[in-house]
Chains A and B, each alone.
Chain A
Amino acid sequence: QSVLTQAPSASGAPGQRVLISCSGSSPNIGRHPVNWYQQFPGTAPRLLIYSNVQRPSGVPDRVSGSKSGTSASLAISGLQSEDEADYYCATWDDNLFGWVFGGGTKLTVL
């Protein structure tokens, strides 16, 4: 059971916009910024969004992050087949004094 809650799956047609949510609580998302990672099968996770909304170089601007209260969201617009991957949210937890991850959301492009 993950400390951060994500829906196990999400889907959208090419060109559409999809939203992936991450729900936490006061000791984690409520106090700390959220990062998002993208993972393709058989490969290591890749940083997608850091500090809630920041995009590393190389990440397209159709990818965006947001945070409100104890929840965060990852939005991907203009869906493309290469967006099919698993997406994980992560943040620090003050009670556990360590990093916590969401269970991951598998994104399917229909």
Chain B
Amino acid sequence: QVQLLESGPGLVKPSQTLSLTCTVSGDSISSGNYYWSWIRQPAGKGLEYIGRIHFTGVTNYNPSLKSRVTISVDTSNNQVSLNMSSVTAADTAVYYCAREDFRVVHYARENWFDPWGRGTLVTVSS
């Protein structure tokens, strides 16, 4: 059974870079044709897609965050990383990583997020 665990500093100063790691256990990131995504949720608010990466290195980012976000993959350690630069208080949120599971229907790929990590709270404050 695949499990994801986010880790990283819980407190980041404004204007600095937020760095988080998602460690995958129970399966190899390189096996299967999965995307690995980051999603965040400010306290009391909804979910926001940050971006995703395929183990081949192909990435996709939310246009509203693209200029500040980098997602990378470390297949040797079975980890996916998120870096977000120039953070402000608006970036305070619980950050989740999730695997995009999928099926192919009539040659088209249908994706969904499953499983999710438990999430990690990042607070941006001086």
Contacts and interface: CB of A to CB of B under 8 A. Distances in A.
A45 B41 CA distance: 10
B66 to A, nearest CB: 9
B60 A51 contact: no
Contact of A2 (B46, B62, B63, B113): B46
B105 to A, nearest CB: 7
Interface in B35-83: 37, 39, 46-49, 51-52, 60-63
Interface stretch (A12-20, A68-76, A94-102): A94-102
Contacts of A46: 116
Interface string A39-52: 00001111100110
B47 A104 contact: yes
B60 A97 contact: yes
Contacts of B116: 44-46
Contacts of A43: 118
Interface residues of A, number: 25
A79 interface: no
Contacts of A100: 49
A103 interface: yes
Contacts of B48: 101
Nearest to A32: B110
A51 B109 CA distance: 10
10 contacts: A50-B112, A51-B112, A88-B47, A90-B47, A92-B111, A97-B60, A98-B51, A98-B62, A101-B47, A104-B46
Interface of B: 37, 39, 46-49, 51-52, 60-63, 96, 101, 103, 105, 110-119
Given A37-B113, A46-B116, 20 more contacts: A33-B110, A43-B118, A44-B118, A45-B47, A45-B116, A47-B114, A47-B115, A50-B114, A51-B103, A90-B112, A96-B63, A97-B60, A98-B60, A98-B62, A99-B39, A99-B49, A101-B46, A101-B49, A102-B46, A104-B47
